[in-house]
Amino acid sequence: MSKTIVNGVERDMTAEEQAVFDARQTAWANDKPNRQLKRIKSERLERLKATDWMSNSDVTMPDYIKTWRQSLRDIPANYNSSKYDELLAKDDKGIYTHSIWTQPTE
């Protein structure tokens, strides 16, 4: 038996239980980039939806918004998983700090 801390509680585990636990922990850690990319795509979609109204035929979308929207769509091509932590960084108020998320005003 080995002792392992699970959710803040120390627990005795058999070798088999420990192996299953370790495999799950490894799988979770290895899947981090996929979870992050899913979050990035969700944030990107929110921002694109917020400016979709500018693409109506009776509205002229400013070039700086077109450029920003394109940069949002290009995130998966321009940022690899080593940059995901940077893209998802937030300040103490819970606001994303990376400049890609800030809608330009000109």
Q: Residues 20, 4: contact at Cβ < 8 Å?
A: no
Count the helix, strand and coil residues of the chain and give each as a percent rounded to the nearest 5: 60, 10, 25
Q: What is the pLDDT of residue 11?
A: 86
Same domain, 69 and 51: yes
Dihedral, CA atoms, 55, 59, 63, 64, nearest 10 degrees? -80
Q: Residues 103, 68: contact at Cβ < 8 Å?
A: yes
Domain carrying residue 9: 1-30
Residue 95 token pair: 């606001």
DSSP 103: P
Q: What is the pLDDT of residue 76?
A: 92
1 to 8, 12, 19, 40: CA distances (angstroms): 18, 6, 12, 41
Q: Give the mean pLDDT per block of 10 residues along the chain (106 residues).
A: 82 89 93 96 96 89 95 95 96 96 92
Same domain, 2 and 20: yes
Q: What is the pLDDT of residue 80?
A: 94
Q: Give pTM, 2 decimals.
A: 0.80
Q: Please state the domain count of the chain.
A: 2
Same domain, 87 and 101: yes
Same domain, 45 and 4: no
Same domain, 55 and 95: yes
